[in-house]
Structure 1
Amino acid sequence: MITLVKDIKEANGITHNGTMHADEVFATAFLSLYFGSFKVIRVSEVPIDISPNTLVYDIGKGKFDHHQSDARVRDNGIKYSSFGLLFEKFGIDFLKKMKLKNTKAIYNYFVKDFIEGIDAIDNGIFPDVKANYKVKTVSDIIKIYNPSYLSNDNEDEQFIKAVNLAESILTEELKNVVGKVEAGDKVKKLLNKTKGPLLILDEYLPYEETVLTSLAGKKIKFVIYPSNRGGYGIKTVPISTTDKTSRVYFPKSWGGLSNSDLEEVTGIKGSLFCHTNRFLMTASTLDTAKKLAEIALDVNEKE
């Protein structure tokens, strides 16, 4: 639980006031989750006579700030923000308190998947997205909580709202990462047993990253899995983590069709749906899904 205080002697943590950013908001949310309860004060300048036990972050040019000229930079070139610095200090211990398996793997995945993006944006490194629409990052969402033009919102009250949102996001993101790490181990084992281009899952697992980053995944063209809507999904595999073009596609004549229309063109009973962009199909049974994938592979070889 996070509490904003006015008396610096009551504070466990000190951060800057004024415009809020994702790094100190998520840093505060993380400290609240780590300590169970956390009292923070927002100031424009750090007093000299503070307790040595008080955590000062994103202000003051100390070990949890990143605005000084000698601020720390990762080996991959991404500069730390206050969030990354605090998670580096307390993250492993935080995960151990949660009694999780694969603590180091979860830590590394979480840093790469979530923290580095916030750190990079806070340091002026923005994602290179070429699109004719606005892409809002989690950092953009946090900015929304700053009092807007013509509003009478209280800055500190808005900060608490943003921190509460960040706590919820952190909690759910960690669940997601734990699931992906555990699923990744299962997918690796399945890939090592798989000889051909079809990866068949007996339960839905977050598989894509493992398939795309492992040597054994290079041969995979389609993944078949039980659908949460019933039946089975059949999905193409992208070329890489950065190129989302599919390695193969379903035949052009199948795109956008469903049910009897799709059954007629495929010649396979139980063909349910083919996405217009031909990267996803659904089928009534596992056997049907396999047949459709095999036909698609054969068509791709002939084209």
Structure 2
Amino acid sequence: MAENAAKRLKTDNGVVAIGTHNGHFHADEALAVYMLRTHVPTYSGAKLVRTRDPKLLDECHTVVDVGGEYDAARNRFDHHQRSFGTSFPGRQTKLSSAGLVYMHFGREVIARRLGQAEDSEQVDLVWRKIYESFIEALDAHDNGISVYDPAALAAAGLQKKFSDGGFTLGAMVSRLNPNWNDPVPEDPAAAQEAEDKRFELASQRIGEEFDRDLDYFTKAWLPAREVVAEAFAARQEHDSQGRIMVLKRQSAPWKDHLYSLEEGQPEGGKVLYVLYPEKPTPDSKWRIQCVPVAKDSFESRKPLPEAWRGFRDEELDGICGVSGSIFVHASGFIGGNKTYEGVLAMAKKALDL
């Protein structure tokens, strides 16, 4: 889809122009512009036109976040029109310009990174994961969609215990806009040039974060899937009910994959503890980590016993009855032992307590 649309682009002496609005900039168009210019070959070296003038936008080959039109065939990617309600496949959040560009060009970006066809299973898996973990938050922020239903929060009487500083991806970009009382050049052309430089900086900044996610999910997260799947399939070797999963060779990102595997086999029960070596060496110490009730939760499905928490070394040996113990965190979500045999013994004891 993205390739066909790109082939229809008009060019001015071989240079593609991307149009977006001027004035206060946001994370969505900053990322949309970055993704096109950095990851889609057709847009390599594309010039940027920041304006709200319909005539100037009409001359651009691709327009994002302005213009009141969504038409992928014409490379128009705005989401502000009243009739717009498009969301990413399988998700409910209304798209912003970042989501629109990612939905149409993301597969191409990932396929090139993985060296696979756009319709491959792995490309689809990463395409969806990056949207859910990175892009969707930008879409929600730009469209004024809260993480939680405000009415439900109010009805439950829930309030924040402390300020989180409001530092989100959107806030990171917003901070690069000029302050209200910063000096502005009197010459309109100079003022626009200064504003455009700030936008370029913002686009590069959020683009760096996108690239980190792209690298992580293609180079680390995706290869971990096979490692976790192997461990998940062998979990009953350590506990007849499959409550202990062992990553034998080395630790790998396991939470996303574990939850996904469990959803696919609901009859297999839930994993409570994950065991893994601290280093991929024969003499490595081992960790036992409790599986959270949800990926981002601090609550464990079954924390390590309260009596063990906050103790270390020989003192912990005497309390839990397993030699070689190193520590158990005060919250009970993680612990350690000098050997695999020791950490497995800790896990089995914890299941019965």
> In percent, how many aligned pairs have the same letter?
26
Provide Cα deviations, 1:108-146, integer angstroms capped at 9, x if missing partner: 111122111111111000223944222522111111111
Provide Cα deviations, 1:65-102, integer angstroms capped at 9, x if missing partner: 00001113225331111111111221112222224452
- Secondary structure at the counterpart of residue 56 of structure 1: strand
Equivalent residue in structure 2 for 1:56, among 63, 67, 78: 63
State yes or no: 1:121 paired with 2:141.
yes
State yes or no: 1:20 paired with 2:25.
yes
Superposition deviation, residue 260 in structure 1: 2.8
| Inter-partner Cα distance in structure 2 for 1:226 and 1:208 | 16
**Residue 233 and residue 38 in structure 1: after superposition, are their counterparts in 2 closer, same or farther (change >3 A)?**
farther
Aligned twin of 1:183: 224
TM-score, structure 2 as length reference: 0.75
- Secondary structure at the counterpart of residue 352 of structure 2: helix
**Residue 159 and residue 131 in structure 1: after superposition, are their counterparts in 2 closer, same or farther (change >3 A)?**
farther
The answer to whether the Cα contact below 8 Å between 1:11 and 1:41 also exists between their aligned partners in 2 is no
Equivalent residue in structure 1 for 2:288, among 227, 230, 234: 234
State yes or no: 1:65 paired with 2:95.
no
Q: Which moved more, 1:152-161 or 1:232-241?
A: 152-161
Provide Cα deviations, 1:36-78, integer angstroms capped at 9, x if missing partner: 3332121133326744x61111000122000001113225331
Unaligned residue ranges in structure 2 (runs of 5+): 1-11, 71-76, 117-121, 149-158, 185-193, 237-241
Give 1:54's aligned amino acid.
Answer: H
| Inter-partner Cα distance in structure 2 for 1:49 and 1:27 | 16
State yes or no: 1:170 paired with 2:210.
yes
Aligned twin of 2:8: none
Root-mean-square deviation (Å): 2.4
Equivalent residue in structure 2 for 1:140, among 159, 171, 175: 171
The answer to whether the Cα contact below 8 Å between 1:212 and 1:239 also exists between their aligned partners in 2 is no
Unaligned residue ranges in structure 1 (runs of 5+): 1-8
Give 2:342's aligned amino acid.
Answer: T
The answer to whether the Cα contact below 8 Å between 1:46 and 1:59 also exists between their aligned partners in 2 is no
| Inter-partner Cα distance in structure 2 for 1:256 and 1:187 | 29
| Inter-partner Cα distance in structure 2 for 1:265 and 1:152 | 66
State yes or no: 1:90 paired with 2:105.
yes
**Residue 240 and residue 99 in structure 1: after superposition, are their counterparts in 2 closer, same or farther (change >3 A)?**
closer
Aligned twin of 1:29: 34
* Counterpart mapping for 1:1-303 below 5 A: 12-34=17-39, 35=41, 36-47=44-55, 50-51=58-59, 54-63=61-70, 64-74=77-87, 76-101=91-116, 102-128=122-148, 130-134=160-164, 135-152=166-183, 154-178=194-218, 179-195=220-236, 196-202=242-248, 203-215=250-262, 216=265, 218-228=269-279, 230-241=284-295, 244-299=298-353
Aligned twin of 1:6: none
Superposition deviation, residue 228 in structure 1: 4.6
| Inter-partner Cα distance in structure 2 for 1:95 and 1:242 | 25
TM-score, structure 1 as length reference: 0.87
| Inter-partner Cα distance in structure 2 for 1:57 and 1:100 | 28
- The number of aligned residues is 291
| Inter-partner Cα distance in structure 2 for 1:152 and 1:204 | 52
Superposition deviation, residue 232 in structure 1: 1.4
**Residue 88 and residue 295 in structure 1: after superposition, are their counterparts in 2 closer, same or farther (change >3 A)?**
same
